[in-house]
Chain A
Amino acid sequence: GQQVMQIPQYQHVQEGEDFTTYCNSSTTLSNIQWYKQRPGGHPVFLIQLVKSGEVKKQKRLTFQFGEAKKNSSLHITATQTTDVGTYFCVVRRGSNYKLTFGKGTLLTVNP
């Protein structure tokens, strides 16, 4: 079964507030990818993290990969209504091709 925990499951914020979702694994990861799925839509690739301690930014989104490569976070600064959707972390272990999706964090934003 899945060995990646994503928290929280749901998050409701007021527009302008910050938001963070976390992805935790019990084992070391080769890399981690983040996807966003809008309501009624399909998952869309956001970013991939590979290196220990890596930090990447995309406008208001900041992605981090833990030093031990067992956890990751996605932080959104000053949320907007366009940020609504489910954010998934997707992990890969070792040389296994197989990607495992977390359960996702559903973000809703009150305008």
Chain B
Amino acid sequence: DAGVIQSPRHEVTEMGQEVTLRCKPISGHNSLFWYRQTMMRGLELLIYFNNNVPIDDSGMPEDRFSAKMPNASFSTLKIQPSEPRDSAVYFCASSLEQGASQPQHFGDGTRLSIL
């Protein structure tokens, strides 16, 4: 079975550019999560969707970050304009149902470097 699929795996771009990260959750999963991981701050939840609806975006750093889930099989996380401090690994995860009783399945992540 296919797991959570993220693209691109690596992204290097100059500050000020727009960055779009993509995620395809596991089929049948109706909860989707975006995380950011850095050495300093660890793993942080950015936003959570349930049935394609954003439930909580309180972890989104600032207005430069936006996330969408136009359908059950696709989500994007966009940074515009990007800054060097946005450099991190961004993970997408999905789970079977709303709530925190189900395990989250993570994608391989996107390693983002902003120069």
* Dominant secondary structure at the B interface: strand
Q: B91 an interface residue at 8 Å Cβ cutoff?
A: yes
Contacts of A99 in B (CB 8 A): 45, 100, 104
**How far apart are the CA atoms of A68 and B20 in the complex, in Å?**
44
Q: A96 an interface residue at 8 Å Cβ cutoff?
A: yes
Contact residues of B between 67 and 115, Cβ < 8 Å to A = 91, 93, 98-101, 103-109
Of chain A, the residue at the smallest CB distance from B99 is A97
Q: A87 an interface residue at 8 Å Cβ cutoff?
A: no
Interface residue count on the B side (C-beta < 8 Å): 22
**How far apart are the CA atoms of A81 and B42 in the complex, in Å?**
24
Interface centre among A42, A43, A92, by most chain B C-beta atoms within 10 angstroms, is: A42
**CB pair B55 A42 closer than 8 Å:** no
Q: B43 an interface residue at 8 Å Cβ cutoff?
A: yes
Q: A63 an interface residue at 8 Å Cβ cutoff?
A: no
Q: A22 an interface residue at 8 Å Cβ cutoff?
A: no
Give A residues with C-beta under 8 Å from B.
Answer: 30-31, 33, 41-45, 48, 50, 88, 92, 95-104
